[in-house]
């Protein structure tokens, strides 16, 4: 299995390849579909090799080009059912900020959000915790890691690679997301991710990080909990 990272406006899109085809983990901002398909072609595949468009959660930087990609590839869109509510209307959804600064920034973005509306959709595949992706040709499973949103998903590959979406970011260092719907859930999901013992984590924002960096983050999370 090979993983190719493509920055698609705000977040990363991952082109996951094996001998049976391609899985996209996240679909980028609106108007990124052609770029993503060009990257797929550049790697020696045709658009019809895409077996699944897995959207880790319903935010526009992850779901923005899902509909356009489905049209270009014919692949189904998968999402956790708890996030379907986020993609049925085009307006920008930003959860409460984790800090006062991100809450202020979020309020500004919510006000400006109509500039780039989401192309709405109903997911073709509703993924649940633990669901295998073998039907789509990949030795991987969906893991429910809520908190950032109620339906946030991670994807654990059998080889130890884990796509964490926005559950954990690595912009400056490994950290919680800037926005979250439910802080205790996000903490529980970070511990759940740690318990999966991933070899490498691919975050949607920032660079991939290894088990050692994850370990250091989890140690900080546990210390904060004790202090609280
Ligand atoms: Zn998000
Ligand atoms: Zn994001």
DSSP string of 125-192?
Answer: EEE-TT-B-GGGT-SEEEEE--SSSTT-EEEEETTSEEEEETSSEESSSEE--SB-S-HHHHHHHHHH
Are 202 and 164 in contact by the 8 Å Cβ rule? The answer is yes
Assess whether pLDDT exceeds 90 at residue 225.
no
Query: For residue 74, what pLDDT is reported?
Result: 98
Distance 160 CA to ligand 2 centre (A): 22
Please tell me the distance between residue 112's alpha carbon and the centre of ligand 2 in angstroms: 17
Note the pLDDT tens digit of each residue in 182-198. 999 999 999 999 999 99
Q: Are 50 and 73 in contact (CB under 8 A)?
A: yes
Ligand index nearest the alpha carbon of residue 204: 2
Instruction: Report how far ligand 1's centroid is from the alpha carbon of 179 (Å).
Output: 8
CA of 118 to the centre of ligand 1 (A): 14
Domain containing residue 160: CATH number: 3.60.15.10
pLDDT given for residue 114 in this prediction = 65
Distance 209 CA to ligand 1 centre (A): 18
Residues in Cβ contact with 222 at an 8 Å cutoff, skipping those fewer than 6 apart: none
How many A from CA of 123 to the centre of ligand 1? 17
How far is ligand 2, taken at its centre, from the CA of residue 111, in Å? 18
Q: Which domain holds residue 11?
A: 2-227
**Total domains in the fold of the chain:** 1
Segment 44-98, tens digit of pLDDT? 999 999 999 999 999 999 999 999 999 999 999 999 999 999 999 999 899 999 9
Residue 228 pLDDT > 60: no
- Would the CA dihedral through 46, 155, 184, 177 be positive or negative? negative
Identify which ligand lies nearest to the alpha carbon of 147: 1
Residues 185, 57 contacting (CB under 8 angstroms): no
Ligand nearest to the CA of 203: 2
> What letter would DSSP give residue 89?
S
Quick one: pLDDT at residue 185? 97
Per-residue pLDDT at 152? 98
Going from the Cα of 216 to the center of ligand 1, the distance in angstroms, rounded, reads 23
Ligand 2 centroid to Cα of residue 78, in Å, is: 17
Burial of 89 (0-12, 13-18, 19+ CB in 10 A): exposed
Ligand number nearest CA of 169 is 2
């Amino acid at each position: 299995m090979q993983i190719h990272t493509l920055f698609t406006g705000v977040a990363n899109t991952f082109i996951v390849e094996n001998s049976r085809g391609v899985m996209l983990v996240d679909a980028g901002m609106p108007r990124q579909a052609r770029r993503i398909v060009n990257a797929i072609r550049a790697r020696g595949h045709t658009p019809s090799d895409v077996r699944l468009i897995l959207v880790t959660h319903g935010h526009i930087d992850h779901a923005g080009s899902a509909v356009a990609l489905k049209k270009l590839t014919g692949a189904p869109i998968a999402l956790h059912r708890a996030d379907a509510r986020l993609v049925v209307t085009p307006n920008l959804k930003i959860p409460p900020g984790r800090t006062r600064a991100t809450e202020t920034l979020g309020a500004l973005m919510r006000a400006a959000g109509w500039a780039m509306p989401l192309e709405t959709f109903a997911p073709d595949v509703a993924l649940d915790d633990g669901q295998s992706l073998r039907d789509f040709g990949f030795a991987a499973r969906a893991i429910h890691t809520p908190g950032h949103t109620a339906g946030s998903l991670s994807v654990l590959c059998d080889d130890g690679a884990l796509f964490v979406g926005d559950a954990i970011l690595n912009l400056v260092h490994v950290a919680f997301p800037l926005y979250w719907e439910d802080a205790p859930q996000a903490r529980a999901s970070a511990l759940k991710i740690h318990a999966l013992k991933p070899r490498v984590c691919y975050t949607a924002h920032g660079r991939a990080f290894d088990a050692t960096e994850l370990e250091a983050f989890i140690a900080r999370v546990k210390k904060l909990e004790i202090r609280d």
